[in-house]
Amino acid sequence: MGRCITVTSGKGGVGKTTTTANLGMALAMNGKNVCLIDADIGLRNLDIVLGLENRIVYDIVDVIEGNCRVKQALIRDKHFPNLSLIPAAQTRDKDAVTPEQMAELCRKLTKDFDFVVIDSPAGIEQGFRNAIAGADEVIVVTTPEVSAVRDADRIIGLVEAAELPPPRLILNRLNPALVQRGEMMTTEDVQDILAIDLVGIVPEDATIVMASNRGEPAALSDTSKAGKAYREIGLRLLGEDVPIVIPVANEGFLNRMLNAFRPRQRVAS
């Protein structure tokens, strides 16, 4: 039996789809059989981030309504044949799927795959409920901004109310230079507020935009800092003990010297 992981956030635009694509890639790079599901029905996006938008024939609603078999809807990744995608339907709305149907689909898929990673839509309504219906665990993505953290807190409450295990946190788009200037909440601040385990920190990184422009997730790149962060999160999901390092800014000589005398930020886990 594989594990079904839902990536969610509450707020839109914090990096759920990017995270799903990169985690899927990172797990596949480690030889796992991975199926990604785009549960954002009506706003299909995971396909384009993965560069698979031209290969779609059937979608998740076709699978659930029985218009095709599950295997027919699976789109194989260009880089890793052990990575597949079930795309969202673009011309339907979220009510086309019920939580029970979603849970049933997850049950079927976890028989064949080591990991099923679901990209949740933003919000706390039907689409979110569908996305967590079949989940064994939930990963909450947030950025260090008040609106995203507030919504993450709400989502954490809803996940716990759904009697799922406490979700784990990915802190996305941390800007180390801003943190150092005191103009962005630190990792510790966000952890204090949300009080859930951290599974990784992804620094703000222009390579993420470049990667989605090309349709090749940053996890494939050796030079992308964000990609490296995602690969490490993948390893943590596999149970490897990879320490979480808080990203620091590349600064001039003087600041580096001054930083040496400052107390280090700690991550409580």
Partner 1 sequence: MSFFRNLFAKGPSSAQLAKQRLQVVLVQDHLSMPPGTMEAIKAEIAEVISRHLEIAPEGVEVAVERRGHNDELVANIPVRRNYGRTRDGAPIPLERPQATQPVGRARPTLASGRAAGRRRH
**x/- string (CB under 8 A) for partner 1, residues 192-211?**
xx-x----------------
Nearest of 234, 1, 5 to residue 132 by alpha carbon = 5
Quick one: which of 71, 154, 256, 266 contacts partner 1 (CB under 8 A)? 154
Judged by CB under 8 A, how many residues of this single chain contact partner 1? 21
Cβ of residue 254: shortest distance to partner 1, in angstroms?
A: 8
Quick one: which of 111, 161, 163, 183 contacts partner 1 (CB under 8 A)? 183
User: DSSP readout, 1-29?
Assistant: --EEEEEE-SSTTSSHHHHHHHHHHHHHH
Cβ of residue 188: shortest distance to partner 1, in angstroms?
A: 10
Show contacts with partner 1 in window 85-144 (CB under 8 A).
none
Cβ of residue 144: shortest distance to partner 1, in angstroms?
A: 8
DSSP 218: G
Q: Which is nearer to partner 1, 84 or 142 (CB)?
A: 142
DSSP 33: -
Q: Which is nearer to partner 1, 157 or 165 (CB)?
A: 157
**35 bridge partner residues:** 84, 116
Q: Does 150 bind partner 1 (CB under 8 A)?
A: yes
Cβ of residue 99: shortest distance to partner 1, in angstroms?
A: 24
Is residue 189 classed exposed, middle or buried when 0-12, 13-18 and 19+ CB atoms within 10 A define those classes?
Answer: middle
CA distances from 71 to 11, 108, 190, 224 (A): 32, 11, 41, 33
Q: Does 184 bind partner 1 (CB under 8 A)?
A: yes
Quick one: which of 57, 68, 146, 210 contacts partner 1 (CB under 8 A)? 146
Q: Where are the alpha helices (DSSP H) in the chain?
A: 16-29, 46-49, 60-65, 70-73, 99-112, 126-133, 146-161, 176-180, 187-194, 207-214, 225-237, 253-260
Q: Which is nearer to partner 1, 183 or 241 (CB)?
A: 183
Site for partner 1, rule CB under 8 A: 145-146, 149-150, 153-154, 157, 179-186, 189, 192-193, 195, 255, 258
